[in-house]
Structure 1
């Protein structure tokens, strides 16, 4: 059964992948409208194939502007908060509805389609769902495959990002190495707008290093490690967690590090935190 409460993979809101999604969806839609001829294309009388391609390009690209606006908005929101799977699915549904509304108005107002508005809307939703869902599904599978392939290559080459006995390398968003430290000295990572603060144990005290990167990217880097996301603003080295306590405001993590602050556990991450806690209790 699909867990709708889990967070979406970071590759969904990656800027480069968003650009790829927009161009691939536009190309797929252009091929789709010229082969399948939806949205009243069959009423475009006395046009050559070249003219049909030109007119359909304008129609499709205008409709795809909905996707462009939607994905730019999603990218901005994803920098401030984590999107859950059910929220992402609702987002896609909204994209389909808004694009279908555009094509319904196009057929009714521009092409003067005689069918009723409800029938036009129904057909437009069906066709738009094909235009949206097929390329989205293909790209989701491709992005997932590429990420797993990159992780496997890193393991084969001995470049796994996290090992409690080795150094952890932190790169900024441009891929430039900014900090390396022993994994056992890493305490927690805190989000700070377009930066993260890396809190680590150094010479008997807690030190902090500011890095231009996102917590979501680092979460992917530390997948299947002791570094666990416990809050939209925090990741914690679970090896440093001493006590999990429940307050009136929810769960909090006490760390086995002098002068380190307690970290909150938000509701969306309780399950993963408790699952990690269960592993330590075995």
Structure 2
């Protein structure tokens, strides 16, 4: 229980926007509450028509809600500098109830001096608790739901941004300088050539090659989280482009189904991994 009371409340509870919502909703609820439920012996306040009672009660409610306005302004500025724990927040709400109860008690006694003050305060405390706690409870549920939706949207947008970035494959030379960026769906395969790596890709529908000074081993590490997989001592293939895996007497080959692109061999060292990868991603 102590740990729960020491936990920090989420900043969205006392943010500027949500504080304004809480004040307006509390004022509206209090106005409806006092005109329908008629607490504090309010019908005896003014021997007037329903409409005039509504006008007078509105002024009283707005004056009482001023307590909430002042309280939330103080909370907003304090929350910027200090953490507000659940325990302190609970005490804060109790103080709001106490202050409003005193206000309505004084107002009731000023209109009806014959009433006993303790009885008037008790009634004011009960009704003020309803006026504040009901809208507070509803709004805190709403704030929590909106915060959850906001975080989900941020997560989805972040995933979309990550996916977008992953659609482009960047290649760096041995000095870690960016030399080439290719859309993943245009990249075909990589071929080792001494101290270079030949990057084969499609450019305007035509087969193109870029020579990068680096090793295939470094490329394998760089592309470890992609579908570009090592299948041979001299080759890495974009498995998004592989159409056919063919087994011949002399070994296994990958067909990309693109004109002028040769079949890519799979060596025994990589055969199990490459075959499994192709069967997994092609299903």
CA distance in 2, matches of 1:151, 1:160: 14
Give the aligned partner of residue 24 of structure 2. Answer: 23
Give the aligned partner of residue 155 of structure 2. Answer: 155
Give the aligned partner of residue 67 of structure 1. Answer: 68
Aligned 1:218-257 pairs, distance under 5 A: none
Distance 1:8 1:31, change over 3 A: same
Larger RCO, structure (CA 8 Å, separation 6 or more): 1
CA distance in 2, matches of 1:148, 1:7: 17
Give the C-alpha shift of residue 115 in structure 1: 2.3
Distance 1:161 1:130, change over 3 A: farther
Instruction: Please provide the CA RMSD for this pair.
Output: 2.2
Residues 5, 84 of structure 1: 8 Å contact kept = yes
Structure 1 or 2: more helix by fraction? 2
Secondary structure of the structure 2 residue equivalent to 1:4: helix
Give the aligned partner of residue 123 of structure 2. Answer: 123
CA distance in 2, matches of 1:37, 1:90: 27
Distance 1:152 1:75, change over 3 A: same
1:107 equivalent in alignment to 2:130 = no
Which segments of structure 1 move beyond 6 Å, counting only runs of 4 or more? Answer: none
Residues 105, 117 of structure 2: 8 Å contact kept = yes
Give the aligned partner of residue 143 of structure 1. Answer: 143
Give CA deviations for 1:116-144 in whole Å, capped at 9, x if unaligned. Answer: 10010001000000000001111100000
Give the length in aligned residue pairs: 163
Secondary structure of the structure 1 residue equivalent to 2:83: coil
Distance 1:7 1:43, change over 3 A: same
Give the C-alpha shift of residue 151 in structure 1: 1.0
CA distance in 2, matches of 1:123, 1:158: 52
1:53 equivalent in alignment to 2:54 = yes
CA distance in 2, matches of 1:92, 1:161: 42
Give the C-alpha shift of residue 112 in structure 1: 1.7
CA distance in 2, matches of 1:161, 1:97: 50
Residues 7, 85 of structure 1: 8 Å contact kept = yes
Higher Cα Rg: structure 1 or 2? 2
Give the aligned partner of residue 279 of structure 1. Answer: none
Distance 1:114 1:82, change over 3 A: same
Give CA deviations for 1:27-55 in whole Å, capped at 9, x if unaligned. Answer: 00000000011122121353111101100
**TM-score after normalising by structure 2:** 0.54
Give the aligned partner of residue 85 of structure 2. Answer: 84
Residues 105, 121 of structure 2: 8 Å contact kept = yes
Residues 11, 79 of structure 2: 8 Å contact kept = no
Distance 1:160 1:104, change over 3 A: farther
Q: Gapped runs of 5+ residues in structure 2?
A: 167-283
Residues 25, 132 of structure 1: 8 Å contact kept = yes
Q: Gapped runs of 5+ residues in structure 1?
A: 167-282
Distance 1:158 1:126, change over 3 A: same
Give the C-alpha shift of residue 161 in structure 1: 11
Residues 39, 107 of structure 1: 8 Å contact kept = yes
Secondary structure of the structure 2 residue equivalent to 1:157: helix
1:93 equivalent in alignment to 2:116 = no
Give the aligned partner of residue 45 of structure 2. Answer: 44
Residues 15, 75 of structure 1: 8 Å contact kept = yes
Give the aligned partner of residue 35 of structure 2. Answer: 34
Give the aligned partner of residue 12 of structure 2. Answer: 11
